[in-house]
Structure 1
Amino acid sequence: MKQTILILTTFFFFNIGVGQNRYSTVTPSRYEPMSFDELSVVAMSLQKRYDANQKYLYEMKKWILELKPQIKEQSYLTRLDKEYKDLTDIEDGDLARATKYLKQTENAIREIISDYNIWVSNQNNNNSTSRNSGQTNDSSGNYAQIGMQHLQNREYALAVRNFSKYLETDKNNTDVIFFRAMAKGELGDRFGAISDYDKVIELNSNYPMQYNKVAMAYNNKAYSYVKLKEYEKALPIVEKALELDESEWYFWDTRGEIYLNLGKYKQSISDLNKALKIEKNPNSYLLRGLALIKSGEKENGCKDLSKAGEMGSEEAYTEIEKNCN
């Protein structure tokens, strides 16, 4: 049976800037004690860095737990278990100064994923060669794996090409159609993505996805219409996604964005509150901030935009410049 390439869970890390303290270049003979206010600023800075690194650590532990069920070879599970244990060991330590260590751990996890995918590819090639009894190996079965690698590397045109080649021999594979739709969306091919999401929805009852949920296809189709600014058309589609599954924050985020663009600010804020209750994320803070500002709550809205900026949203600072100064 063909091994399946590891599906890399979407996982976004944020960079935490570490600046020098005010005594970095001061000799002992020139030492001046800090004032209470200055000490408070340093303490707050360390606390923010601790909180950010703690979230970073918890996200990586969650990531490892999501990856493990997808791995079928013990040596790679052992390596992941070691990274998980190392994260647990430092969990109660001085996380404010653990940024470099956490980044090294992230890189180690990504290396395990890469090594495992190479192993899977080699296993599939060996199995295919064995079945063909010395005949030329038909590599069509590897197109999906190669497509996934390109998708993970943000090489979207190459991902679409390889997924399409794979679908020539397995046209009803709803997971591959779904991933091709994602790649098309990243390339700005909205109608192509919508067409693929429609195929997933149509085929899913007979050919259910293994790695994704059909509710995701509804949500992503709706968001394709959002990008086309066809908000009225997007609304009933994302409502179908929420009817099937209310547990994903980004489903609520999608509808919150639609309501924002339709001028239904109270409904938008309500949906974005639900998104943030499920998972704190910069996009929902950004959208809720805009909805609050448009509702007349400028101060609270600008605080949300600031929070989105702290979490890595560059767009938030553009909106702060427009709305909060």
Structure 2
Amino acid sequence: MKKLIFFSFLLMTLVGYSQVNRYSTYTPSRYEPRSFDELAVAAMSLQKRYEANQQYLYDLKKWILELKPQIVEQQFLKRLDKEYKDLTDIEDGDLARATKYLKQTENAVREIISDYNVWVNQQNSQSQTSSNYNQNNNSKQSYAEKGFELQQNGEFADAVYNYTQHLKTDQNNTDVLFLRAMCKSELGDRFGAINDYDKIIEMEGKVKPNVYKMSTVYNNKAYCLVGLKNYKEALPLVNKALDMDKSEAYIWDTRGELYYHIGEYEKSVKDMDKAISIQENANSFYFRGLSNLKLNKKSKACSDFSKAGELGESKAYEEITKNCN
């Protein structure tokens, strides 16, 4: 925080200058010269004024030199340098008649100080605003980063807490909403996840996401609804996701699982074929196996269960025990 310059400039008490008023009469035929005493008084007055102004000038120069170390902005230093130079230029001149000029110089220096203090106030205000912003921003950033770190480590409940703290001061951050929704899904909080996905959908087109695609948002909401057995509401959402992006295996997988639950087994097999062609995953093999069982294709079903087990789906071995021995 910069400090304001508080100055005091004690002007010297100038000796009062007496004006000699001379009233005389004359005629064209007679000239009456001034006396020596009168001439001496006038000279003494000019000498006193010269000495007083000389001291005034020295005090002004000293004042400027004392001010300069307290000023950090170049534009104001240049203005002070100019006033100092002007004083130096008249130093050997007729200072007896420089009273008005010296007073103008003093006022100019006072104006420089005033302008500088205004500038400092502005800088302090901007600095405080920036500091508050950075403090808030750093706080938000730390909560978001901590949440993401916890999410990566599988500590979903703590991640949700940190994301929530971030959103208290950044409630329209859809990236954080998306990450929190994913953590809620992992914790089985499907209604909470759907609520976050709905907030993101409300802001679709108004914000630019960095960590998600809108097709994923629609898919993930649909998958939460599948988990809640709300298949009727889920189907148009996953269809919308596929209209937006047909390149993601997990979207085909979502619809394939949904089709299995509503008894559309051939459609389920078809969608799981598509998902597996893009990227093999345990869930696709598992639900394709279940659909093949319903279609009385036991050999294909057992092969799918075996592959699902290899990829980490433990429930597949239960199906093998029941149906493939």
TM-score, normalised relative to structure 2? 0.57
Give secondary structure in 1 for the equivalent of 2:252.
helix
Q: Determine whether 1:141 maps to 2:143.
A: no
Partner of 1:194: 194
1:295 aligned residue: 295
8 A contact 1:256–1:267 mirrored in 2: yes
Q: Which amino acid aligns with 1:267?
A: K
Task: Could you tell me which runs of 5 or more consecutive residues in structure 2 were left unpaired when the two chains were aligned.
Answer: 1-126
Shift of 1:178: 0.5
Residue 277 of structure 1 is matched in structure 2 by 277
Evaluate the alpha carbon distance shift between residue 279 and residue 136 of structure 1 in structure 2; reply closer, same or farther with a 3 A threshold: closer
CA gap of 1:176–1:320, structure 2 versus 1, over 3 A, is same
Report what 1:268 is aligned to.
268
- CA gap of 1:304–1:136, structure 2 versus 1, over 3 A, is closer
Is contact 1:174-1:204 (8 Å) kept? no
Which amino acid counterpart does residue 141 of structure 1 have in structure 2? K
Q: How many residues align?
A: 197
Q: Note the C-alpha offset of 1:136.
A: 10
Q: d(CA) in 1 for partners of 2:285 and 2:133? A: 57
> Aligned letter for 2:276?
L
Matched residue SS, 1:207? coil
Q: Is the 8 A contact 1:238 1:255 kept in 2?
A: yes
Letter matched to residue 266 of structure 1: E
| 1:226 aligned partner | 226
Provide the alpha-carbon RMSD of the alignment: 2.2
Tell me the distance in 2 between the aligned counterparts of 1:134 and 1:187.
Answer: 35
User: Which digits, 9 at most, give the CA deviation of each residue in 1:89-144, with x for residues without a partner?
Assistant: xxxxxxxxxxxxxxxxxxxxxxxxxxxxxxxxxxxxxxxx9996699944422311
Task: Show structure 1 runs of 5+ residues with no match.
Answer: 1-128
What percentage of residue pairs aligned between the two structures are identical? 51
The two structures have a TM-score, normalised by structure 1, of 0.57
Please name the residue that 2:177 is paired with: 177
How much has 1:231 moved relative to structure 2? 1.6
State the Cα deviation string for residues 59-103 of structure 1 (Å, max 9, x = none): xxxxxxxxxxxxxxxxxxxxxxxxxxxxxxxxxxxxxxxxxxxxx
Q: Deviations over 1:1-23 (max 9, x none)?
A: xxxxxxxxxxxxxxxxxxxxxxx
Distance in 1 (CA, whole Å) between partners of 2:257 and 2:188 is 19
Which whole-Å deviations, capped at 9, do the CAs of 1:32-63 have from their partners, x for residues lacking one?
xxxxxxxxxxxxxxxxxxxxxxxxxxxxxxxx
Specify which structure has the bigger relative contact order, considering alpha-carbon pairs within 8 angstroms and separated by 6 or more residues.
Answer: 1
Superimposed CA distance per residue, residues 228-252 of structure 1 (whole angstroms, 9 cap, x where no aligned partner):
1122221111111111100000100
Q: Give distance in 1, aligned partners of 2:187 and 2:284.
A: 23
Task: Name the CA shift for 1:245/1:133 in 2 (closer, same or farther; >3 Å).
Answer: closer
- Counterpart of 2:317 in structure 1: which amino acid? Y
Change (3 A) 1:277 1:132: same
Q: CA 1:257–1:168 in 2, change beyond 3 Å: closer, same or farther?
A: same
Deviation at 1:312, TM superposition (A): 2.1
